[in-house]
Amino acid sequence: MFRTSAPDINETWEWVEILVKEALTQVDRDIAFKARMTRQTAILNQKALVAALISGCYCPPPRMHILKTMIHPRFNEVIGCQDPDCRMGEKCGGNRLQLDTIPAPENPYDHDWHHHGYLTTDITNVVVHHKNDRR
Protein backbone atom coordinates (compact mmCIF):
# COMPACT_ATOMS: atom_id res chain seq x y z
CA MET A 1 0.00 0.00 0.00
CA PHE A 2 1.25 3.50 -0.84
CA ARG A 3 1.61 6.28 1.70
CA THR A 4 -0.84 9.10 1.21
CA SER A 5 1.40 11.67 2.86
CA ALA A 6 5.02 12.32 3.61
CA PRO A 7 6.33 12.52 7.19
CA ASP A 8 6.78 15.94 8.75
CA ILE A 9 10.01 17.47 7.44
CA ASN A 10 11.32 17.99 10.98
CA GLU A 11 10.97 14.25 11.65
CA THR A 12 12.79 13.54 8.41
CA TRP A 13 15.62 15.91 9.29
CA GLU A 14 15.91 14.39 12.77
CA TRP A 15 16.19 10.93 11.18
CA VAL A 16 18.84 12.18 8.73
CA GLU A 17 20.88 13.79 11.53
CA ILE A 18 20.82 10.51 13.48
CA LEU A 19 21.89 8.60 10.35
CA VAL A 20 24.73 11.07 9.66
CA LYS A 21 25.92 10.94 13.28
CA GLU A 22 25.96 7.14 13.20
CA ALA A 23 27.90 7.14 9.91
CA LEU A 24 30.52 9.53 11.31
CA THR A 25 30.79 7.48 14.52
CA GLN A 26 31.27 4.31 12.47
CA VAL A 27 34.02 5.96 10.41
CA ASP A 28 35.75 6.93 13.68
CA ARG A 29 35.50 3.34 14.96
CA ASP A 30 36.79 1.82 11.74
CA ILE A 31 39.77 4.13 11.52
CA ALA A 32 40.60 3.70 15.21
CA PHE A 33 40.40 -0.11 15.21
CA LYS A 34 41.07 -1.12 11.59
CA ALA A 35 43.00 1.86 10.16
CA ARG A 36 40.58 1.96 7.23
CA MET A 37 36.90 2.27 6.47
CA THR A 38 35.10 -1.05 6.01
CA ARG A 39 32.69 -1.78 3.16
CA GLN A 40 29.74 -1.73 5.58
CA THR A 41 30.75 1.71 6.85
CA ALA A 42 31.28 3.00 3.32
CA ILE A 43 27.72 1.91 2.43
CA LEU A 44 26.33 3.56 5.58
CA ASN A 45 28.30 6.70 4.77
CA GLN A 46 26.87 6.78 1.23
CA LYS A 47 23.31 6.32 2.56
CA ALA A 48 23.80 9.19 5.02
CA LEU A 49 25.23 11.44 2.31
CA VAL A 50 22.36 10.75 -0.10
CA ALA A 51 19.79 11.22 2.68
CA ALA A 52 21.38 14.55 3.66
CA LEU A 53 21.49 15.74 0.05
CA ILE A 54 17.93 14.83 -0.96
CA SER A 55 16.22 15.85 2.29
CA GLY A 56 17.59 19.38 2.43
CA CYS A 57 18.72 18.79 6.01
CA TYR A 58 21.95 20.79 5.73
CA CYS A 59 21.61 22.60 2.40
CA PRO A 60 18.90 23.12 -0.21
CA PRO A 61 18.23 19.83 -1.98
CA PRO A 62 19.46 19.60 -5.57
CA ARG A 63 17.37 18.19 -8.38
CA MET A 64 17.73 14.44 -8.84
CA HIS A 65 19.30 14.97 -12.29
CA ILE A 66 22.19 16.81 -10.65
CA LEU A 67 22.77 13.94 -8.23
CA LYS A 68 22.56 11.33 -11.00
CA THR A 69 25.13 13.11 -13.18
CA MET A 70 27.47 14.28 -10.39
CA ILE A 71 31.07 13.10 -10.72
CA HIS A 72 32.98 11.99 -7.62
CA PRO A 73 36.06 14.17 -6.96
CA ARG A 74 38.38 11.22 -7.56
CA PHE A 75 37.18 11.07 -11.18
CA ASN A 76 37.22 14.77 -12.03
CA GLU A 77 39.23 15.24 -15.24
CA VAL A 78 39.41 11.43 -15.61
CA ILE A 79 35.97 10.71 -17.01
CA GLY A 80 33.86 12.99 -19.15
CA CYS A 81 30.65 14.79 -18.44
CA GLN A 82 27.86 12.41 -17.41
CA ASP A 83 24.97 14.52 -18.73
CA PRO A 84 23.52 12.66 -21.74
CA ASP A 85 22.28 15.94 -23.28
CA CYS A 86 25.58 17.85 -22.94
CA ARG A 87 26.35 20.05 -25.94
CA MET A 88 29.74 21.29 -24.72
CA GLY A 89 31.73 18.24 -25.80
CA GLU A 90 34.97 17.03 -24.23
CA LYS A 91 35.81 20.37 -22.60
CA CYS A 92 32.83 20.02 -20.22
CA GLY A 93 33.74 18.98 -16.68
CA GLY A 94 30.11 18.11 -15.93
CA ASN A 95 28.29 18.33 -12.64
CA ARG A 96 30.84 17.45 -10.00
CA LEU A 97 32.08 17.77 -6.48
CA GLN A 98 35.32 19.71 -6.33
CA LEU A 99 37.70 19.50 -3.36
CA ASP A 100 39.76 22.56 -2.49
CA THR A 101 42.44 22.91 0.16
CA ILE A 102 41.78 25.60 2.75
CA PRO A 103 43.92 26.89 5.63
CA ALA A 104 43.81 24.80 8.80
CA PRO A 105 41.94 26.34 11.75
CA GLU A 106 44.04 28.07 14.39
CA ASN A 107 43.33 25.38 16.95
CA PRO A 108 42.48 22.10 15.19
CA TYR A 109 42.01 20.35 18.54
CA ASP A 110 38.81 22.33 19.11
CA HIS A 111 37.21 20.04 16.54
CA ASP A 112 36.28 16.46 17.34
CA TRP A 113 36.50 14.97 13.83
CA HIS A 114 39.90 14.93 12.10
CA HIS A 115 39.69 12.31 9.34
CA HIS A 116 40.23 12.58 5.57
CA GLY A 117 41.44 16.18 5.55
CA TYR A 118 38.12 17.34 7.01
CA LEU A 119 39.53 20.50 8.58
CA THR A 120 41.58 21.54 5.54
CA THR A 121 39.26 20.57 2.70
CA ASP A 122 36.34 22.53 1.30
CA ILE A 123 33.78 20.93 -1.02
CA THR A 124 32.20 22.86 -3.88
CA ASN A 125 29.23 21.47 -5.78
CA VAL A 126 29.86 22.59 -9.38
CA VAL A 127 26.60 22.47 -11.34
CA VAL A 128 27.06 22.94 -15.08
CA HIS A 129 23.88 21.20 -16.22
CA HIS A 130 20.66 22.10 -14.44
CA LYS A 131 17.05 22.92 -15.18
CA ASN A 132 17.86 26.15 -17.08
CA ASP A 133 21.34 25.38 -18.46
CA ARG A 134 20.29 26.00 -22.05
CA ARG A 135 18.60 29.37 -21.55
Predicted pLDDT at 23: 95
Could you tell me the residue range of the domain that residue 95 belongs to?
Answer: 62-135
CB 94 within 8 A of CB 29: no
Q: Within 13 Å of residue 70, how many CA atoms lie on the same side as its CB?
A: 18
Please indicate, yes or no, whether residues 20 and 47 belong to a single structural domain of this protein: yes
pLDDT digits (tens, 9 = 90+) for 15-72: 999 999 999 999 999 988 998 999 999 999 999 989 998 899 988 888 888 888 888 8
Alpha-carbon span 102 to 124, nearest angstrom:
12
Work out how many domains the chain is built from and give that number: 2
Alpha-carbon span 14 to 102, nearest angstrom:
30
Instruction: Give pairs for 57-61: CB < 8 Å, separation 24+.
Output: 57/12, 57/13, 57/16, 57/17, 57/20
Q: What is the mean pLDDT of residues 119-126?
A: 84
Predicted pLDDT at 60: 87
54-75 burial string, b = 16+ CB within 10 Å, else e? ebebeeeebeeebeebbbeeee
Predicted pLDDT at 103: 86
pLDDT digits (tens, 9 = 90+) for 56-95: 998 888 888 888 888 888 899 899 898 888 888 888 999 9
pTM to 2 decimal places:
0.68
Please indicate, yes or no, whether residues 91 and 34 belong to a single structural domain of this protein: no
